[in-house]
Structure 1
């Protein structure tokens, strides 16, 4: 359950006002079976958390629940999550622990790991990560990969996946030939917590299940928070895939990149344009909890879009997505096969910069799987992360057209 009282979490960054009445709660919606029906529900502003054959788990405010019922679907309150001991929550990295882990890795492996701070959150926290590469202090002409996690605060498992990938790349360097080759031939940027204010707020709770907080912590007039994954500039607010209601879980903000965290991420991607060429070749946004591998576009049902997604580009996304899903057991599909979304990370990174872009939806059964499940869930996607990184030199290799597109 979301708390109604905000907390002062950092000196000088006290949150201004209590949350208004009518906060989001979790519900089960019965009836929708198609992408079009799911998009009708998403158009109300409700956040779709999980999809089953004829049911959805959603997070919705009262007006959205009423709108869903008006569409003719049945809505019932979800069962409250089982509460474990409060101490169990400490098995997930807090923001402070994640930043300490980044510092430790950078100090332990200075030849291949360098900490960077891309910018600050609304409340002034670092949005930080690690660059991993041989000759890490040099900007070499090597294909680059960007991996981000925890853009939605409650999706704690995502940060664990990113931190695990950092550990695998650094600890395996020099002893594992595959990892050594990857680190020598790539520049890999990993940002484990890109919504630090939301993550801290979600973890500052008296239950192990947290506050179910999704957005950032920027006041928006009537409520708090912007859904960072609806705030990017490509097709922002275009297509009924986000909400203009500040209380909504999918609130898109007052304008594209109106959230500081979105601006930081977008500016970082823009900074990787060197000599007129975008150096980032692969992008991954790690989410939970639906066990999916998704590719663009989310704003349209069309597989190809004139001038924005050619048949070969779509086929490459699909081939890589299916291959990666074959390693972790997730379902591969175009993002809009679920429901229409707009202003998302992967639509922007591909639509604006032609960075081959994927979203992982990890498993675990809930946004707060028990700490005993972390290792098993993280291990499921280790191979997928390595393969994604390998494809950065020539994604078109996935469809056998490397000679056409990647010849020197």
Structure 2
């Protein structure tokens, strides 16, 4: 049924580019989906939030988009409005804090994140240095931390990049990047395994790739469910990269859509800044960054390129290269219990960070979707009590990628 529904959805008119506000979105469950029908769900302007083992997708959609799904033979079942979901998540005492809600103060806001980076540099100045990849739409610096044994030097060592919080409401990922920072700085003096990695690699960490959106999502003291950057109606920075931008129905041209790809490749300053910085790591004609993880929430997945096509070995990806992605992706997933798969097995995306990293620079690039494994809007806002458990859960996978950077 899912494939037939996908074929029907493909015949529906594409959403027209408009800045007219959409009706209030709601959360729906859609049974019997596969990667192709989920791709077509997204093409209506809706957004697949998660998928369970039975193929039931949780979808954020307007009533109009839900009607398109019904017309195509799918069976969306309304669960609650996004507003009601946020009200439920935000329920609790208002302590007057204009930050994360009082019950989730364990998360680091943007200023607290910067303070953590400053502390790492102050405590471990011989191996940690802070800089910036560039500025956001609202003019904020996007912090970058380098970790290496001779941190002030540009050594001829494999480099690895970790970036987090590209989608504003995915705050657990910032904690993941801070875990990487603190683990490889605090552990350097006493953990021989960590010392060996730091002495043989240059590690780069961007804890908040979308500072404006991340700040906006929590600055009222309650969660807003915001995903995009803060440029006009917002651009999905993970659909704004110039490799296969807008090629394949894996993003939207509608400015109101959650997967709006922007007016042009790198029209979102945040995506452009990070891309230019990665371009700058081409030294002597060779890209120094050898491996990369773009951290997201949620669904507990390890994803590899390409997202724009269902093909594995294809233009820009030999069978040997694809087999390596599968092998390492599965090895990492064995350590954290995530599901390993090609990005397009979830649904088609185009203009994505991971596709660009590999497609342009041959950087061994993965997307990790963190805890929880499924859910609705609440999946973006887990309790702060899970931070330690869910970030340390990825330690071994991080180590594997750092190892592979030297291959």
Q: TM-score range by the shorter chain?
A: 0.7 to 0.9
Q: Is the 8 A contact 2:30 2:58 kept in 1?
A: no
Report the Cα distance in structure 1 between the residues aligned to 2:221 and 2:288, rounded to whole angstroms: 44
Q: Is 2:395 aligned against 1:388? A: no
Alpha carbons of structure 1 residues 215 and 24: separation in structure 2 relative to 1, 3 Å = farther
Question: 2:173 aligns to what?
Answer: 158
Question: 2:308 aligns to what?
Answer: 299
Alpha carbons of structure 1 residues 276 and 24: separation in structure 2 relative to 1, 3 Å = farther
Report the Cα distance in structure 1 between the residues aligned to 2:60 and 2:278, rounded to whole angstroms: 30
Aligned positions of 1:1-400 closer than 5 A? 21-22=21-22, 25-52=25-52, 53-79=54-80, 80=85, 81-85=88-92, 86-207=101-222, 210-219=223-232, 224-306=233-315, 308-364=316-372, 366-394=379-407
Report the Cα distance in structure 2 between the residues aligned to 1:265 and 1:167, rounded to whole angstroms: 22
Q: Is the 8 A contact 2:298 2:380 kept in 1?
A: yes
**Once superposed, which parts of structure 1, at least 4 consecutive aligned residues long, lie more than 4 Å away?**
none
Q: Is the 8 A contact 1:226 1:250 kept in 2?
A: yes
3-state SS of the aligned residue for 1:225? coil
Shift of the alpha carbon at 1:68? 2.3
Q: Is the 8 A contact 2:281 2:287 kept in 1?
A: yes
Report the Cα distance in structure 2 between the residues aligned to 1:362 and 1:187, rounded to whole angstroms: 24
Report the Cα distance in structure 1 between the residues aligned to 2:380 and 2:91, rounded to whole angstroms: 14
Alpha carbons of structure 1 residues 45 and 177: separation in structure 2 relative to 1, 3 Å = same
Q: Is the 8 A contact 1:241 1:299 kept in 2?
A: yes
3-state SS of the aligned residue for 2:295? strand
Q: Is the 8 A contact 1:60 1:248 kept in 2?
A: no
Q: Is the 8 A contact 2:26 2:63 kept in 1?
A: no
Report the Cα distance in structure 2 between the residues aligned to 1:188 and 1:94, rounded to whole angstroms: 23
Report the Cα distance in structure 1 between the residues aligned to 2:58 and 2:336, rounded to whole angstroms: 23
Report the Cα distance in structure 1 between the residues aligned to 2:337 and 2:268, rounded to whole angstroms: 34
Matched residue pairs, number?
Answer: 369
Alpha carbons of structure 1 residues 43 and 50: separation in structure 2 relative to 1, 3 Å = same
Report the Cα distance in structure 1 between the residues aligned to 2:286 and 2:396, rounded to whole angstroms: 29
User: Which ranges of structure 2 fall in alignment gaps of 5 or more residues?
Assistant: 1-18, 93-100
Shift of the alpha carbon at 1:63? 4.1
Report the Cα distance in structure 1 between the residues aligned to 2:56 and 2:191, rounded to whole angstroms: 44
Question: 2:95 aligns to what?
Answer: none
Report the Cα distance in structure 1 between the residues aligned to 2:200 and 2:24, rounded to whole angstroms: 45
Report the Cα distance in structure 2 between the residues aligned to 1:382 and 1:152, rounded to whole angstroms: 22
Scaled by the length of structure 2, the TM-score of the pair is 0.88
Report the Cα distance in structure 1 between the residues aligned to 2:337 and 2:129, rounded to whole angstroms: 33
